[in-house]
Structure 1
Amino acid sequence: MMKEEKKAYITGLDVRDVPWHRLTTAYGRGTDFPVYFETLFKMDDLKAVKKALYELTTNMEHQSTLWHGTPFGMIFMSRVLIEALNKSEQNPIANFLADELLDFFNCILQCYHDGDEMEHADPLPFFSDMLKEEYLWSEEYDEEEEEMRYEEDEVFPDDLFYSFYYYSWQAVLAYRSALEKEVSEKFAPKITAILAVL
């Protein structure tokens, strides 16, 4: 069961309240994430949607590793998924997007469960704790400085690192009731698989 305050934070978060440029991803920072989310929400240009989807998914997960930008990204990907499912019968781009996102969600949830089975620290108490100044990276992106930081033994504190996984799961869990209401026959097997691991 999800605590109401966690759900309220996840469902109420505004994309503008996340310092994307200070959150790590597999290939840098999440600076362009809001632009990609906007492209996905529009669902009106297949080529642009494919590019945005590629950029988001490859930066949010790489070889089963999740990043600082992933849990926040999953909040908005969850909203895009619900929207795509709602429009999938009328809009072929939404139909494509829903199918791709369900596969991606399954991958993210698998990463969470794999990480959860290993020994790990407790997650930070609140989703928003991951945005504390002490955890954010510098305002300016400096490739050399970032490479040096990654060479250090502890790039992310243990509780922060596990939070990337825990809160990515929570971001999807917050939208569970919307997924349970979905009646599309086409997507039923994939939605059922996701609900089973939530």
Structure 2
Amino acid sequence: MTEENRTYITHLKVTDVPWHRLTTAYGRGTEFPTHLAVLERMEDMETVKKSLDQLTANLEHQGTLWHATPFGMVFLSRILEKALAESGRNPAAHFLAGELLDFFACILQCFRDGDEMEHAEPLPLFSDLLREEYLWSEEYDEEEDEMRYEEDEVFPDDLFYSFYYYSWQAVKAYQDVLEQVPAEFAEPAAAVLELL
């Protein structure tokens, strides 16, 4: 991982990402900041479960990753770090830590599977994912989005592979967190580390 990409990953703020212009499995990532904030707070099990379900369903679907996925993984990696630290005293954090480790293994398996196939080179920089030509329209129009999906090349090859590559890099940047988990999470963390 280049130092430039590591710095970008570790300094990125939720407000730096134009979520409403990034594709997900079921539309766009407009609601991601709200769901990420719920997970960050880890206040009660019900809201944590709902927001986690929304995020995971939209970040990965049947082995496919989306434009919002690498950015989601940056913030989920930070949330995992916090959840692990609070898991001994907060049931919502404990639940979240276990669920996120399983989800990370799923995302990394998607990367592994994609990496084994013939693919384009990733974009040189994580930040390249936010170049204007890759972003969808400012205003959400479901019909317009559906028309765009009808095109032969919805995502250029290098952009599409970058959804996978930078999702892996987002987790890789927080590898040290996975190497220092509480003992009860050692097994799922080891599974994630093996895929890194």
Common fold: TM-score over 0.5: yes
Alignment partners' CA distance in 2, 1:3 and 1:127: 10
Alignment partners' CA distance in 1, 2:2 and 2:153: 31
What amino acid is aligned across from residue 164 of structure 2 in structure 1? Y
CA-CA distance at 1:181 after TM superposition: 2.1
Q: Give matches, 1:13-162, under 5 Å.
A: 13-162=12-161
Alignment partners' CA distance in 1, 2:10 and 2:166: 13
Deviations 1:101-140 (A, max 9, x none): 0010000000000000000000000000010000000001
Question: Are 1:192 and 2:190 counterparts?
Answer: yes
Q: Which runs of 5+ in 1 are unaligned?
A: none
TM-score, normalised to structure 2's length? 0.99
CA-CA distance at 1:51 after TM superposition: 0.5
CA-CA distance at 1:149 after TM superposition: 0.8
Report % sequence identity.
68
CA-CA distance at 1:3 after TM superposition: 2.2
1:168 corresponds in structure 2 to 167
Question: What is the DSSP-based 3-state SS (H/G/I as helix, E as strand, rest coil) of the residue aligned with 2:100?
Answer: helix
What amino acid is aligned across from residue 47 of structure 2 in structure 1? A
What amino acid is aligned across from residue 125 of structure 1 in structure 2? P
Alignment partners' CA distance in 2, 1:6 and 1:18: 15
CA-CA distance at 1:6 after TM superposition: 1.2
Alignment partners' CA distance in 2, 1:37 and 1:71: 14
Alignment partners' CA distance in 1, 2:61 and 2:91: 28
What amino acid is aligned across from residue 140 of structure 2 in structure 1? Y
Alignment partners' CA distance in 2, 1:139 and 1:168: 24
Deviations 1:147-186 (A, max 9, x none): 111111110000000000000000000000122122x121
Question: What is the DSSP-based 3-state SS (H/G/I as helix, E as strand, rest coil) of the residue aligned with 1:21?
Answer: helix
What amino acid is aligned across from residue 162 of structure 1 in structure 2? Y
Q: Which runs of 5+ in 2 are unaligned?
A: none
CA-CA distance at 1:196 after TM superposition: 1.0
Aligned pairs, how many? Answer: 196
Alignment partners' CA distance in 2, 1:179 and 1:117: 24
